[in-house]
Structure 1
Amino acid sequence: MDNIKVKTILRNYIVLIIGLFIMSWGVCLSVRCNLGTTPISAIPNVLSFATDISLGTLTIIFNALLLLIQILILRSKFPRIQLFQLVVTTIFGYFIDFALSLTTNLIPQNTTEQILLCILGCFVIALGVFFEVNSHAVILPGEGVSIAICTVSSIKFEKMKVIFDSTNVIIAVIISLYYFGGFVGVGMGTILAGIVVGYIIRFYKKIALMILGKNEDNPVTN
């Protein structure tokens, strides 16, 4: 029984790591399109333009802050296993910098190429999130903060997630306006990702359910 449990946990984290790797490439494509990244990466992305710190490193720092916020909100109710979020987000940060290092020559030549790259980035990010969500492993700090707030309040997760993402975008815009007097690192791509990624994830789920012959009530990876 213990061997089965260990194999299940190992499988879950392998799926999570695969998801993080795919997500990192989605973030990379959204950076290269120069139209703005997803809401969760908006603040680190803007700061990467305003400082000499890499996007991956800023992602690690930002998510470590989100983990700290979870601890402050939940206090004694914070599950210690969720400290592993820091390890996971560190891996994610290094994946992002790795992807960016391999795509320095990926420069769209016109608006059409920018939009196509942005859309491709949304599909890749959604695929990565699909793997992450269905890994049944540790949650990422972005979702962790929303869940923590929902735990101590009557706010539903779906509503809290929208509030959290919107707050990220607003803060990113403020930082961009402060440093550059305009929109740098955040823009149309950020809004597009915030709208369509969820729908694309549902599309992937339907395909997976069709392949596995399962219904909507069952987890995809079980």
Structure 2
Amino acid sequence: MLQHEEEIGVVDTGSLTRRWATYAIGIYLLTLGVSLAIKASIGISPQSSLTRTMTVVFPAMSQGTFNFLLELIMLLLTYLVMPKGFQLRNFLSLIPAFALATFLDLNLKLTHWVVVDSYAAKFLLLVFADATLAFGLFLMIRANLVLMPIDMFVNTVFKRTGWKWGNIKTAFDCTLLVTSAAVGLFCLGSPHFIREGTIINGILVGQYVKLYFFLFQHIAVKRKRAELK
């Protein structure tokens, strides 16, 4: 995938300082999008629904904490799937995972005042939240640095099995969704944070990322043409 992205000029191959700055901004925007999606309260992504549900079961712990614990579990599973291919540098993935957890808790506090009542407003907020989340993800892909443990796990399963990456990611998301629903059912009496917005999130984020790649490529082509004139 990265080879194709380099060919179309999306992945940044410049200075590490700029790439790390882009990566950090991407993480922040991603967590801001997650926070706003939660405030829309019509359903959030499978990963967010699981960690959010855990905060209801154990209110003393923050969602950022649960998100970091999930990343730790994924790093362990990455090792178990392919122990011979696991390297010490894989632990570097915990650095952006910690940053994501920190930014997530920060943005949840910063957006605590956001309250929407009508369904139309909630829907529009979710659409905006997904656009923000997807742009953050796009910036992280563009920076082309350290993979988060969750993405590392999916990639490791892909390398080990040869199954289609998209199918593995879908199966992984569904597993998180089922786990979230099960925890909500057994601990809270009913699934929480899983609604129509969960499906909307799954559709919009991918489409937004595709749109950002298209726009960036289009702008890059225009710049090159201008430079040649």
Q: TM-score, normalised by structure 1?
A: 0.88
Unaligned runs of 5+ in 2: 1-13, 223-229
Unaligned runs of 5+ in 1: 1-6, 215-222
Q: Which residue of 1 aligns with 2:35?
A: 28
Q: Quick one: which of 41, 44, 49 aligns to 2:56?
A: 49
Residues 44 and 58 of structure 1 are in contact (CA less than 8 Å); yes or no, is this contact kept in structure 2?
A: yes
Q: TM-score, normalised by structure 2?
A: 0.86
Q: Which residue of 1 aligns with 2:159?
A: 151
Residue 104 of structure 1 deviates from its aligned partner by 1.3
Q: Which residue of 2 aligns with 1:162?
A: 170
Q: Which residue of 1 aligns with 2:21?
A: 14
Q: Which residue of 2 aligns with 1:69?
A: 77
Q: Which residue of 2 aligns with 1:184?
A: 192
Residues 183 and 191 of structure 2 are in contact (CA less than 8 Å); yes or no, is this contact kept in structure 1?
A: no
For the residues of structure 2 that align with 1:50 and 1:119, how far apart are their CA atoms? 28
For the residues of structure 2 that align with 1:195 and 1:171, how far apart are their CA atoms? 20
Q: Quick one: which of 94, 97, 112 aligns to 1:104?
A: 112
Of all paired residues, the percent bearing the same amino acid is 22
CA RMSD, Structure 1 to Structure 2 (Å): 1.7
Residue 12 of structure 1 deviates from its aligned partner by 2.3
Residues 127 and 204 of structure 2 are in contact (CA less than 8 Å); yes or no, is this contact kept in structure 1?
A: no
Residue 195 of structure 1 deviates from its aligned partner by 1.8
For the residues of structure 2 that align with 1:56 and 1:167, how far apart are their CA atoms? 20
2:209 equivalent to 1:201: yes
Kindly provide the CA deviation profile for residues 122-158 of structure 1, in whole angstroms up to 9, marking residues without a partner as x.
1111101101111110011221111111111121211
Q: Which residue of 1 aligns with 2:9?
A: none
Secondary structure in 2 aligned to 1:213? Answer: helix
